[in-house]
Structure formats: structure tokens, C-alpha cells
Amino acid sequence: MPSSSSSSQPSQVRAAIVGSTGYGGVELIRLLAAHPYVTVASVISSSNAGEPFAAGYPHLTEIRTDILDAVDPELIADKADVVFFATPHGVSTKLASQFLAAGLKVIDLSGDFRLKNRDSYAQWYKKEAPQQDELERAVFGMSELFGDEVRGADFVTNPGCFPTATTLGLYPAVKAGWIDPDSIIVDAKTGVSGSGRGLSMAAHFSEVNENFKAYKVHQHQHTPEIEQTLARAAGGPVTVSFTTHLVPMTRGIMSTMYASLTDKSRTTADFRELYNQFYEGRPFVRVRPEGTYPSTKEVYGSNYCDIGVLVDERTKRLTVISVIDNLVKGASGQAIQNLNLMMGWDETTGLTFLPVYP
């Protein structure tokens, strides 16, 4: 059960969600409904403003009876204390500063403010990046790695789904210098919900079902985000091989990662101890017992990131297997975890539900 950081219960924080009708938005609504200190005060959609929210999501019949608001910063500033952007790339670039200026806290689930190098953003996202000073202001909210920076911040850029699973899986080993950063190969797999609710052949049931495919090989826009974070651990530039695949399932990400040991005498037990120490006191990262490794269903619907580490004695490589629910720890759950940190609450507040299994 959530515990507040002081003896008196906090007053309710009012949240607005821009892009509430996408999967990230509707997952924020699901999770925040169980949060003791947050009320969703405004659900916002540029395309469906004026329509009842539940018309597009009948599972929320009798639960969310409100009408979708338009994107009206003045109105939102009046209704809310914090704004979540669950929008496509390019939206928060234009809007975030307005809300910050109006005194709201901002948590951006899109990729706009993640890359601190504007050229890199332009290259991988094919859009113009936000201004450099705004980029600097946005704290990169990988909660377990940079929680200290998130605490008390008013503007957080929430990590991408693949970078969350991948970076949490590699950071301790890179930081410790136990693997060669130049040898890192990331073979990532995701459920279909990662591409959102928009219509495309890549999300057409008859094309995806009973199919396994690679996509954006060598070209995924999450690549520089992973490298940027690992560079902080390595103390210098890191370049990784990153390949993404689509799994015929709705939720879940697994990153299977390979890297060469710098000291070939290190064992699986050594790495387990390293990871356990690194993530001590961080309840959402679970390092699995030796000889075991997680599957995506074991974190389904929850905010956990589960990690298995194994040394291959034959090749002297480390294999790391890291799984998350892409919509929770990979998006909306981590966003709430960041809100908890920003507000000074326990980071688990409202996020303690168990995985849905089976």
C-alpha cells in the first residue's frame, strides 16, 4: 500500500492529460484512478474535443463520463496542477513552455525533449528540435538512474519504452566497466501497442497475427536515446547495434542484450551481486535469481522491470534479458513514478498493483 512521506495526507493534485485518447493517455487514466493523491481533472484531445471520452473507449463507460477538452492552455492552467503530454512527436515542442510559464508541472511522454543534442533529434526524428535552453531544463526521467534529478523538478521528459528496458538492463555493467561498451548488441522485441492506436498495415491484425517481423533495422529513433544514457555510465561516447522486432501480442517489451566481458573471470554470480547492489531499494527493478530470467507476461500491467543476467562461459559474453510492460514502466507508469518523485511522495505511490497473470 502506498505510504505518504509525511504524517498528513497530501491534498489532491489535479492532472490534465493532453493526448488522452491514445494508448499512453488511456493507460494514465487507468493507473491514476488508483492513485490516492491525484485526480484527473481534464482529458484533452485535439482531434475529438467535445465528444464523450467513453465513446472511444467503452470500457470506461460509467467511469469517465466527461467530455474531451480542447487543447486550450489557459483553460487547462485553470483546471490542473500538472500536465501529461501523451502526444505524437512534435506537439510538446510547441506547447510545453506555455504550461511551464503558467506555473504547471509538465511530464512529457513523447520523444521531443529526450535528446539533448538538437542535431541528433533532427537526424533521427526528422523534425526540428525544441530550443536548447528548453532541452536543458527537461530532466530525463529514468527514475531508477536519475531519480535524484527528478526529485523536485517541474519539467520531466519521460524515457522511451525501448530505452527503459535496455538502459536499466545495461547501466550497472557499463557503469562498473565490466563490459566493453563498443561490443553492445541489443536485440529488442515489442508488442503491437507500442505503435499506438493509429491505423497502419503494421498494426493490421491479419498481417501481424501469427507473424514475427523485424522493423526499422538500424534506424529506430530510440537508438541515440540509449546511447546518450549509456554514455553517462561509460564516461564517453557509446555506439550500440540496436534492432527492433514486432511480436504478435499487445503488451510487453524484451531487450536481449549481448556484450563482451572486460574481465573474463567474472561470473553470473558476480553480475547478479553487482545488479542487486545497484538496484537496492528500488522496488520496481527485480533482478532474477541465478539461472532464471524473466518473460514479458511476468510484468504485464505492472510497473516492474525484471532483469536476468547470465554469463556465457563458452564465449565470455554477458547476456542480459530485461522486460517491461511498454505501456506502464515504458510509458505511463514511469510517468507517474516521476510525478511521485517530483512531488516528494514515495515513488511507488499508486503503482503497487501486481502483474496480471495469466
Q: Name the minimum Å distance from CB 94 to its own copies.
A: 28
Closest by CA to 274, choosing from 287, 284, 285, 260, is: 287
Q: Which grid cell sits at 294?
A: 524473466
Closest by CA to 174, choosing from 22, 309, 337, 27, is: 309
Bridge-based pairing state of the strands 317-324 and 285-287:
unpaired
Closer CB to its own copies, 218 or 265, in the complex: 218
Closer CB to its own copies, 214 or 269, in the complex: 214
Q: Which grid cell sits at 74?
A: 489557459
Q: Name the minimum Å distance from CB 347 to its own copies.
A: 16
Q: Name the minimum Å distance from CB 50 to its own copies.
A: 18
Closer CB to its own copies, 22 or 172, in the complex: 22
The secondary structure element, H or E, covering residue 229 is: helix 223-234
Cα–Cα dist 345/111, whole Å: 25
Query: Distance of CA 246 to CAs 167, 190, 275, Å?
Result: 19, 5, 28
Closer CB to its own copies, 344 or 357, in the complex: 357
Q: Name the minimum Å distance from CB 301 to its own copies.
A: 5
* 295: Cα within 13 Å, side-chain hemisphere: 6
Catalytic residue among 138, 161, 174, 324: 161
Cα–Cα dist 144/280, whole Å: 10
Annotated catalytic, 305? no
Secondary structure (3-state) at 122: helix
C-beta of residue 307 within 8 angstroms of C-beta of residue 81: no
Report CA dihedral (178, 236, 187, 270) to the nearest 10 degrees. 10
Closest by CA to 155, choosing from 194, 99, 76, 209, is: 99
Closer CB to its own copies, 30 or 137, in the complex: 30
Closest by CA to 141, choosing from 105, 99, 175, 176, is: 105
C-beta of residue 340 within 8 angstroms of C-beta of residue 37: no
Q: Name the minimum Å distance from CB 118 to its own copies.
A: 19
Q: Name the minimum Å distance from CB 257 to its own copies.
A: 10
Q: Name the minimum Å distance from CB 154 to its own copies.
A: 28
Closer CB to its own copies, 131 or 239, in the complex: 239
Closer CB to its own copies, 46 or 319, in the complex: 319
Residues belonging to the active site: 161
